[in-house]
């Protein structure tokens, strides 16, 4: 056998239909587009256009919104951590972070961070370093003698410090905090006083 003798299997490739090549071609004259109208011309047929009536995607009710720059977190429950410890995949004495959870096969990837949820029972004493954790999860980990370090709190504190430093460099006074109780707005007088200070 030679290279020039190699052929594909019969029917493996189907020739494309060549439209508008005369009446003998099978798709001549109007080339399968019918007679006249918008769709018979090139560039015709807008996706979602319904002849001028309100299209379906505009008739549907709109609810909620998508927050831009949302963090995608890998969620893990307490029972999953306990399973990994019992199987010997997680070292309870070492610090447990996202990389350790991936190495143990508890989660597939870290994404933007790890969030611990409180479903299930935890008996092992674990020292977790994660992006965030639910209140129930923190309570359960601390009840077992462990600790939870939330990177989210550190990140928020750093961001607040950066903002305060930038405002101080620009000579801006910090925004007055809303008073506790029923009044949830700062009065115009309080804002003016803070601006003068």
Structural domain harbouring 86: 74-154
CATH of the domain at 122: 3.100.10.10
Query: How much is the pLDDT for 192?
Result: 74
DSSP string for 133-167: E-HHHHHHHHHTT-EEEEHHHHHHHHHHHHHHHHH
d(CA 84, CA 104): 7
d(CA 66, CA 72): 13
130 inside domain: yes
Q: Is the pTM of this model over 0.85?
A: no
Query: How much is the pLDDT for 38?
Result: 85
99 inside domain: yes
Count the domains in the chain: 1
109 inside domain: yes
Q: Which helix (H) or strand (E) holds 104?
A: helix 98-104
148 inside domain: yes
149 inside domain: yes
Query: How much is the pLDDT for 184?
Result: 53
- pLDDT averaged over every residue in the chain: 88
């Amino acid at each position: 056998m030679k290279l020039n003798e190699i052929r594909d299997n019969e029917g493996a490739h189907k020739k494309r239909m060549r439209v508008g090549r005369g009446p003998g071609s099978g798709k001549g004259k109007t080339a399968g587009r019918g007679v006249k109208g918008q769709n018979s011309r090139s560039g015709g047929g807008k996706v979602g256009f319904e002849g001028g009536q309100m299209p379906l995607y505009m008739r549907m009710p709109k609810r909620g919104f998508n927050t831009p720059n949302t963090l995608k977190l890998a969620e893990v429950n307490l029972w999953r951590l306990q399973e990994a410890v019992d199987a010997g995949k997680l070292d309870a004495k070492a610090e447990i972070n996202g990389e350790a959870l991936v190495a143990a096969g508890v989660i597939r990837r870290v994404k933007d961070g790890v969030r611990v949820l409180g479903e299930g029972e935890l008996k092992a004493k674990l020292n977790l370093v994660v992006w965030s954790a639910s209140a129930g999860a923190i309570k359960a980990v601390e009840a077992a003698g462990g600790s939870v370090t939330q990177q989210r709190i550190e990140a928020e504190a750093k961001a607040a410090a950066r903002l305060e430093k930038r405002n101080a460099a620009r000579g801006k006074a910090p925004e007055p905090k809303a008073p506790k109780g029923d009044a949830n707005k700062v009065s115009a007088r309080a804002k003016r006083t803070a601006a003068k200070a």
